[in-house]
Chain A
């Protein structure tokens, strides 16, 4: 009986620890979100969305930073999503188990988890130095390189889920292969692919390191992509590390905006994914 009691005790101890771990996990999430919301919410007002980043000691907002982030994220997505989709299409529809496909999958996973500061370094050497200035284009390209592997992976996963029977039926009707892919596979996997793009957007919305030496920053309103461009993460980085209270408040407000945006995208992607599984 003693052995059994000991086993029961170990089990109870382990399960308690496991529950404590789970509680701890939730506590962190709550603590971080609470800090963000309680401090950041004081900065959320109309001014935040209508005024530019101020010099220290003046009032201002984050309009140029928000705009810059939206523009660079948008361009990065427009450039990288087609590349990722097409490459993922190759892996799912043409390459499959072939040599090139296996190598590309491996390399893609490396790129997927590569430190984003290395990507920033790469774009600095390849774009900023030859162009002789920082630019929104460089920032967008750095973000694009981060998007490509994500979209490639999700596209391949979603296309692989499309039942072979659908493709075969289309082929049997005499559809050329490229049409089978675009009109059957893409349509069937559309929601999943869109989810993948949304998750990629969520990922790059918070990326700071790749923008540090590509887009730099700009305290004025600028729509010139060929010049340093304001962006939310770098502004938050500078403002949070500063000793000025109004800047710190803006930094927390910006952090709150990014968090809400990222969480909303994640939730929306999840909802979308659920809709597609419900349909199937």
Chain B
């Protein structure tokens, strides 16, 4: 403060101070703009690097890369079909598990939960969301997979495995690890994430809408199903897609329990691989330029898939915000 009282006393001093401040203003604004643009440059750089690394493989295999199940480092034949299949199937299982349960927990938190339990329960869910994914992977490997191998999987093989059409989905020896186990672990992992988003979205519903429904004699379930859900439909879908984006890109929770087999099997109990698990397992050892380039091409495919899913969810959520604003 001494500086200011000294220089600003004289008219020249004041002019000088003003000019200096204007320069600092421009500098500060320029710096913040630069770093904001830096984020754009960063994403561009990531995409460029991926494309550059994937080009040899894509040029060599063409679009057939996406439809080939081969993965043969001996003959240098690579195809993305098995990892893509594994990524999509594990994510689908994760959503099938995570969304209904998350939905149920969100209903509990907003409609049923006694007031004293709401805060701690909500905090518990958010803490679950913060647990690093490697923890889920380890728990899956040490506890969940053996548990499944001795209980759920034989049960599935014996019951659902015998049925005519869907039996093929549950055939095969119970190995503990495999596509189904990976999908379940992934589901447990995205569950708190989806729950938190759906709960937040549910809480944006104006109380008066719900109270009017209750006033007409609707049951809690009818309020949720017919009032809350249609109102928050866009946000819920956006949140689910955000969770899907998370599940698609997840590496550690899946790598431990997926079984690392570059094959598409009919059975969910069989081992498989996902794009991120393949990258995590094989990248440091990919000998030969085509092998490494194929792995980077897998990374590019994953990036494009998650980009599309995230962009769609972002647009949906933006639409919800616009509606809430109006």
Contacts and interface: CB of A to CB of B under 8 A. Distances in A.
A149 B128 contact: no
Nearest to B223: A11
B46 A19 contact: no
Given A11-B221, A21-B100, A87-B36, A233 B250 contact: no
Given A10-B219, A36-B135, A113-B242, A31 B143 contact: yes
Given A117-B279, A121-B299, A177 B28 contact: yes
Interface string A204-233: 011111001100100000000000000001
Contacts of A89: 32
A148 interface: yes
A18 B112 contact: yes
Contact of B29 (A31, A177, A182, A237): A177
A29 interface: yes
Main secondary structure, interface of A, reads: helix
B324 interface: no
Contacts, number: 255
B135 A258 contact: yes
Interface string A97-137: 00011011011111101111111011011100000000000
Q: How large is the interface on B (under 10, 10 to 19, 20 to 34, 35 or more residues)?
A: 35 or more
Contact of A255 (B45, B111, B138, B299): B138
Contacts of B101: 21, 24-25
Interface in B282-326: 283-284, 296, 299, 302-303, 306-307, 310-311, 314
Interface string B122-158: 0111111011111111110111000000000000000
Contact of A209 (B53, B100, B113, B276): B276
Contact of A110 (B246, B256, B310): B310
A212 B280 contact: yes
B49 interface: yes
A113 B246 contact: yes
B209 interface: no
Given A111-B43, A116-B249, A259-B132, A15 B36 contact: no
A273 to B, nearest CB: 12
A26 interface: yes
B276 A115 contact: yes
A145 interface: yes
A199 to B, nearest CB: 8
Interface in B76-113: 100-105, 107-109, 111-113
A263 B129 CA distance: 10
Q: How large is the interface on A (under 10, 10 to 19, 20 to 34, 35 or more residues)?
A: 35 or more
B121 A22 contact: yes
A21 B219 CA distance: 19
Interface string A1-42: 000000110110011011111101110110110011001000
12 contacts: A21-B105, A25-B191, A94-B33, A106-B314, A111-B42, A145-B42, A208-B251, A236-B138, A240-B256, A241-B141, A252-B138, A255-B138
Interface of B: 21-22, 24-25, 27-29, 31-33, 35-40, 42-43, 45-46, 49-50, 52-53, 100-105, 107-109, 111-113, 121, 123-128, 130-139, 141-143, 188, 191-192, 195, 219-222, 224-225, 242, 245-246, 248-252, 256, 276, 279-280, 283-284, 296, 299, 302-303, 306-307, 310-311, 314
Given A14-B220, A111-B43, A258-B135, 16 more contacts: A11-B221, A15-B112, A15-B220, A36-B135, A87-B35, A104-B39, A107-B40, A110-B310, A116-B251, A122-B50, A178-B28, A212-B283, A233-B132, A233-B134, A233-B252, A237-B252
Interface of A: 7-8, 10-11, 14-15, 17-22, 24-26, 28-29, 31-32, 35-36, 39, 83, 86-87, 89-91, 93-95, 100-101, 103-104, 106-111, 113-119, 121-122, 124-126, 145, 148-149, 152, 176-179, 181-182, 202-203, 205-209, 212-213, 216, 233, 236-237, 240-241, 248, 251-252, 255, 258-259, 262-263, 266-267, 270
